[in-house]
Amino acid sequence: MLIVFHNFVVSITYEYMIKDNNVIIEDRQGEIIEGSQSSKHSDTKKLYIESYGCQMNFSDSEVVASILKEKGYSTTRNIDDAQVVLINTCSIRDNAEKRVRNRLTEFKKKKRDNPELVVGILGCMAERLKKSLLEQEKLVDLVAGPDAYRDLPNLIDEVGTGQRAVNVLLSRDETYADISPVRLDKGGISAFVTIMRGCDNMCSFCVVPFTRGRERSRDPETIVQECKDLFSKGYREVTLLGQNVDSYRWNISNKGEIKNPDKPTVNFAQLMEKVALVSPDLRVRFSTSHPKDMTDDVLRTMASYENICSYIHLPVQSGNSNVLTRMNRGYSREWYLKRIQAIHEIIPDCAVSTDVISGFCGETEEEHLDTLSLMDEVKYDFAYMFKYSERPKTLAERKFEDDIPDEVKSKRLSEIIEKQLKYSLESNKKRVGCVERVLVEGESKRSDEHMCGRTNRNSMVVFAKGDFNKGSYINVKILDCTSATLIGEVI
Ligand code: 5AD
Ligand code: SF4
């Protein structure tokens, strides 16, 4: 287990805990795509693309690579070979933006040596800062927001004719439904499938509704088709991705009315069932759920399919109802605890993880203690924990003062982390002596003599190397654990 301290983020991460949900994934920050070569073999154009932020951004970079592959670009890991350099960015906390700015300054130096190089910024920071990145700061030649990726070939051409190119239009219907993403991990077994984009929730601390626009769902047929294709290529696990998967709806308006009576409607529970039916050997996960929208229907569907994994990421953010009201989360502590109770009643042995923010505007010591006491009640299996970072334009920035001193935010955060470490260890200790069905992911990154894989509840298991293929299911008896990993032997 590794605890990573940053200016604003403190997350309990582990080399294996990288594929869980929509939060920032420390190990993957700055990851570079290297997919298959362009189908247009006469072309030699090279694209270098680096990604930051949440899982959605990593998936979007695969869509971008696919759009540009059609135009003759192949991806490279070597920036010095590239004609086009793109950076897909995150705005969720201030430190995420600082990291990207440092990278852009390095790219600027490359551009000084090679003036023909096209440097572009994509994603949430592009959407948030728009033209200022081109005009005031002159850090990049091209700015494209999350709904403008189909326009990238034109934008690159515009830069080629000496212009600076911007498209930050947000769309009400773009889902890139028809684009088959270039997968990073050739021969991989776990893939992310975007099922919806944007967010309509307006949590007061969150910049996402401003950078990713209105919520919209992707055509379920294209989702199921993508999952079938992945399965046929050897993938054995899909994670359905959205900012709020419980509000997935197809052919249903946001007022709940059927849009086209001649066509079927699909909600999240039904979508999950369709994906589960692709094959009993395809594990299905999803992220992120919202406590105000998670229905018993979804829980019952999870309980009725063995291949839908017993793991729910249900961000609470705070254990105090007044703070939750200021955060505009749409639920109280009591409501949240009832959802946890429903999970345990309907899906026995379901793992639950959460996101917590310390030091939100006006948070009193008593309110903070309520977060700690909620953690005592729920006993989460994992948690992602953050210090509040004020974001421009959000409701909180406009309505409240960011009045909790940094030392107090840090102190509260360390209390939250300390508690979570205790419960993560407790959760893992309960598995010692059990036999777990593990999907083999490959070699352990930390030891040449070990392999690793995940349980249904999303715990990482390491075990001695043997003749096991990636993507196969094996039974492992758990012998020992840390707060982040189970250690076992194959039986
Ligand atoms: N400051 C700190 N944490 C934040 N998150 C979102 N916005 C902020 C912010 N302004 C956290 C929430 C969310 C997760 C993805 O990031 O906990 O669930
Ligand atoms: Fe942000 Fe809230 Fe939407 Fe999550 S649900 S993306 S925290 S506004």
pLDDT one-digit tens code per residue, 155-186 = 999 998 888 899 999 999 999 999 988 886 66
**Which contacts of 102-109 are long-range, i.e. CB under 8 A and separated by 24 or more positions?**
103/30, 103/50, 104/139, 104/140, 105/139, 107/139, 107/140, 108/139
- The confidence score (pLDDT) of residue 445 equals 83
Beta bridge partners of 286: 240
* Alpha carbons 82 and 277: distance in angstroms, whole number: 42
* Alpha carbons 332 and 318: distance in angstroms, whole number: 10
- The confidence score (pLDDT) of residue 25 equals 55
Would you say the CB of residue 118 lies under 6 angstroms from ligand 2?
no
Report whether 247 contacts 290 (CB < 8 A). Answer: yes
- The confidence score (pLDDT) of residue 36 equals 54
State mean pLDDT over 337-349. Answer: 97
CB neighbours of residue 307 within 10 Å: 17
Whether pLDDT at 6 is above 50: no
Whether pLDDT at 19 is above 50: no
> Which residue's C-alpha comes closest to atom 5 of ligand 2?
201
Would you say the CB of residue 206 lies under 6 angstroms from ligand 2?
yes
SS3 4: strand
- The confidence score (pLDDT) of residue 187 equals 67
- The confidence score (pLDDT) of residue 421 equals 96
Would you say the CB of residue 199 lies under 6 angstroms from ligand 2?
yes
Report whether 436 contacts 478 (CB < 8 A). Answer: yes
pLDDT one-digit tens code per residue, 72-119 = 999 999 999 999 999 999 999 998 899 999 999 999 889 888 989 999
Ligand 1 atom at minimal distance to the Cα of residue 22: 15
* Distance from residue 91's CA to the centre of ligand 1 (Å): 10
Q: Per the omega criterion (within 30 degrees of 0), is the bond before 455 cis?
A: no
Reported as a pLDDT band with limits 50, 70 and 90, residue 343 is very high
Would you say the CB of residue 355 lies under 6 angstroms from ligand 1?
yes
**Ligand nearest, relative to CA of residue 384:** 1
Would you say the CB of residue 23 lies under 6 angstroms from ligand 2?
no
Report DSSP state, residue 430.
T
Average pLDDT, the chain: 90
pLDDT one-digit tens code per residue, 106-134 = 998 898 889 899 999 999 999 999 888 88
Q: Pocket of ligand 2, candidates 124, 201, 210, 214: which has the most ligand atoms within 8 Å of its Cβ, to mutate?
A: 201
Would you say the CB of residue 462 lies under 6 angstroms from ligand 1?
no
Report DSSP state, residue 209.
H
* Strands 165-167 and 9-13, bridge-based pairing: unpaired
CB neighbours of residue 407 within 10 Å: 9
* Distance from residue 369's CA to the centre of ligand 2 (Å): 24
* Alpha carbons 133 and 166: distance in angstroms, whole number: 10
Report DSSP state, residue 30.
T
* Alpha carbons 154 and 166: distance in angstroms, whole number: 10
Cα separation values, 211 from 202, 254, 326, Å: 12, 20, 21
- What predicted TM-score, i.e. pTM, was given to this entire model? 0.90
Q: Euclidean distance between the first and final Cα of the chain, in Å?
A: 25
Reported as a pLDDT band with limits 50, 70 and 90, residue 190 is very high
The one-letter code for the residue type at 293 is D
**Ligand nearest, relative to CA of residue 315:** 1
* Distance from residue 393's CA to the centre of ligand 2 (Å): 14
Whether pLDDT at 42 is above 90: no
Chain center to CA of 445: 21
* Strands 485-490 and 460-464, bridge-based pairing: parallel
SS3 41: coil
- The confidence score (pLDDT) of residue 40 equals 52
Would you say the CB of residue 92 lies under 6 angstroms from ligand 1?
yes
**Ligand nearest, relative to CA of residue 316:** 1
> Which residue's C-alpha comes closest to atom 7 of ligand 1?
206
Reported as a pLDDT band with limits 50, 70 and 90, residue 30 is confident
Q: Pocket of ligand 2, candidates 91, 127, 243: which has the most ligand atoms within 8 Å of its Cβ, to mutate?
A: 243
Would you say the CB of residue 54 lies under 6 angstroms from ligand 2?
no
Whether pLDDT at 37 is above 60: no
* Distance from residue 388's CA to the centre of ligand 1 (Å): 7
Computed on alpha carbons and rounded to an integer, the radius of gyration of the chain in Å comes to: 22
* Alpha carbons 344 and 312: distance in angstroms, whole number: 11
Whether pLDDT at 407 is above 80: yes
* Alpha carbons 46 and 210: distance in angstroms, whole number: 32
Whether pLDDT at 443 is above 60: yes
